[in-house]
Structures are given as C-alpha cells and as structure tokens.
Amino acid sequence: MVAEVAPYDAVLLLSFGGPEKPEDVVPFLENVTRGRGIPRERLEQVGEHYFLFGGRSPINDQNRALLAALRDDFAAHGVRLPVYWGNRNWEPYLADTLRQMKSDGVARAAVFVTSAYSSYSSCRQYRENLYEAWEAVDEGIVLDKLRVYYNHPGFVEPVVDGVVEALADLPAEVRDAARLVFVTHSIPTVMNDASGDPADGGGAYLAQHEDVATTVAARVAEETGVEHARDLVFCSRSGAPHIPWLEPDVNDHLRVLREQDVEAVVLVPVGFVSDHMEVVYDLDTEALATAEKLGIEARRSATPGDDPRFVAMVRELLLERAAAERGEAVSRVAAGEIGPRWDRCPVGCCANARSDRPTLCGVGSPDDAKVV
C-alpha cells in the first residue's frame, strides 16, 4: 500500500552537526558561536571535550543511523519520498543540501529537526537557518517544519523503557529508592522566558520538560510498580557567569542529593534525542564521575536514537502534516498535559533576543502565503 504524502515530495532531516576529526573541532565551534565574539583560546578549551573522543562528535554517525532507519521505515510503509540530510554547523551544510534538493526537482519538503522542544536555540534558530539557506537557493523550495514532538509517544515510550532498564541495572538494595534525575541542556533564563507563544506568557521550554518528566515518571511507576522521586536539572551551560541560566547543574544537584542521603540515581537525558556530546561528555564522563566520587550508585538511561518507535514517529508526523496541508481532519497524538503544538509557529514565538531575523515555517513568514 502506498501512503498519501501529497503535497510533499521529500523529507529533510535537519540537525546540529558536529566535527568528524580533530582538525574540524575549532572551525566547527567557530561556526556554532559565530557573532558572539568568543576568543579562539576559549574555543580551544571547549574543544578539549571533543578531543577526549578523538576529535569526533558522535552526532553525525547517529544521524546517519537515523537516516538509514527512516529510509527503511518509509519503504516498509509505502512512503515513497527521498530523505535528505542537512546540518546547521557542519557538513553536510543545510544550504548545500537545499541546492541538491532543488537540483533534484524537489518543490516542497517536510522538515524534521532533531530537537524536540520549543526555545530559540532548539526551534527558532533552526527556522532562521532554514530562511538563510532557502534564500541562498533563490527561494525555490517550500519547507514545512514538523511540529515539536517532546510529548509524542514515539519519543516518550523509548525514554520510559530506557529508565526502566537503567533501574533494573541498579543494585537491588537501592533500586526502589533511586531518584530519577531528568537532564536537559541549560539555556539563559531570558531565552526560556521568551520560549513558546508569547500569547501564552512564554516559559514553554521549562514547562515542556516538566510535563514530559512528569509523564515519564508516571509511566515508569506503572511499569515497575514503584513511584520514584524525580528532579529536572541542567547541563552544558556555556554563557558568561553574570548571565542567569537555568539551574541547578546536574553535578551540583548530585552533591545536594548526597547530602540528603540519596544512594542511587538514574540520569535521564530527556532533553536529547540521541547520545551526542552533551550526553557522552556531560553525563557519561562528568556526571557519572561526580556520582562515583560521592558514593552514589548511578546509571544513565538511553536516548531514543534510532529506536523503531522514534523512527515511526517521524513518519506519523509527516503523514499527519501532509493530511493537514491537504485540508483533512487529523488526530494529533500527545502524552502529558500540554497537548500537541502548532504546525506553524505563532508570530514572536521563541524570540531572538539579539535581533529580529527572518524565519521560515511560521505565521507571517515569507513562505506563509504559499498555495497548497
């Protein structure tokens, strides 16, 4: 059976990108921080995290695995669309991918971003990048970003299973009292305050994480028969010390838990879709070392990665959006209390604090007047 995918003739996997070898590290970090005036010496210090892993980020290999899984899933379910891949900060660069898509005759593509939440850095900045690349190829392709999916069952259920497996790996005598420590990327508090629809008052980034953490903890209790206390903490702060960022840091929080006589934790990287650098360094290297020093039994649960349910979620989001663009009624699945988010971001959503740069995929964007 062939799935109905009109009006789309391609899917674009859009991700952050990462260095592939040691000599890529500083140029990659220069791409990431361009316009912020960060000295090269500081970038070299940050680059040490990558050099611990041979100067290679795991993210590109994870995207290759996801790309292959998507193509296999599409073929198995009658979705006859090519899947392209482009990055914000390293090869394959987004603009180059769009040029290839245009050369291949793609007229309209659905865009899946490997970032599940609403904030400037996790949503709007990708929309700015899409505009820049779209403009660079003479505005020749219509691009529709698929909705944020942090609360889609295809994301939530692999996280739940990962937590259950990590709990099972803890010593039996501390397992039932283990605390679930949900971890995500810290952002400036002003960025959180501006995240989501301004008509809703902002704060969507934090609210979405709290919602999914509550959902996952409840599902874990259903699976194990044990209710675990849970926290939401942060990692990967990179801003100037005088600028407030979301806290507490995961390492600081582990110290507080030890003072409270907590003996075991599961670190749940709920802010990340795969095991990229923030997971393998900030959690697997740094936070687990902190826990060991403190005498806390700690395990890190799995990210969705290329779990078949996560891969199927991309297909489901694609078909949902395609039906909506054809004017059909659609059923949008979501776990938790917040519910499914919009297809096209509202005006002012996840505002850029530095400047008002043009975007795609939002109400009032240059592509908003397209004819379906």
CATH code for the domain of 84: 3.40.50.1400
Q: What pLDDT is attached to residue 39?
A: 76
User: pLDDT 10s digit of each residue in the chain, 372 long?
Assistant: 899 999 999 999 999 999 999 999 989 988 988 876 677 877 777 788 899 999 999 999 999 999 999 999 999 999 999 999 999 999 999 999 999 999 999 999 999 999 999 999 999 999 999 999 999 998 789 999 999 999 999 999 999 999 999 999 999 999 999 999 999 999 999 999 999 999 999 999 999 999 999 999 999 999 999 999 999 999 998 877 889 999 999 999 999 999 999 999 999 999 999 999 999 999 999 999 999 999 999 999 999 999 999 999 999 999 999 999 999 999 999 999 999 999 999 999 999 998 889 999 999 888 775 543
User: Is residue 334 included in any domain, yes or no?
Assistant: no
User: Is residue 172 included in any domain, yes or no?
Assistant: yes
Q: What pLDDT is attached to residue 370?
A: 57
Same domain, 139 and 59: yes
Same domain, 174 and 203: yes
| pTM higher than 0.75 | yes
Same domain, 175 and 290: yes
Same domain, 166 and 129: no
Same domain, 137 and 157: no
Same domain, 292 and 180: yes
User: Is residue 356 included in any domain, yes or no?
Assistant: no
Same domain, 68 and 187: no
Tallying the residues shown for the chain, one arrives at: 372
Range of the domain at 80: 10-149+306-325
Same domain, 246 and 219: yes
Same domain, 115 and 218: no
Instruction: Give the chain's largest Cα–Cα span.
Output: 63
Same domain, 17 and 145: yes
Q: How many domains does the chain have?
A: 2
User: Is residue 343 included in any domain, yes or no?
Assistant: no
Task: State how far the Cα of 273 lies from the Cα of 270, in Å rounded to an integer.
Answer: 8
Q: What pLDDT is attached to residue 258?
A: 98
3-state secondary structure of 231: strand
Distances (CA, A) of 126 to 15, 30, 130, 170: 9, 17, 6, 38
Residue written as token pair 């290679």: 56
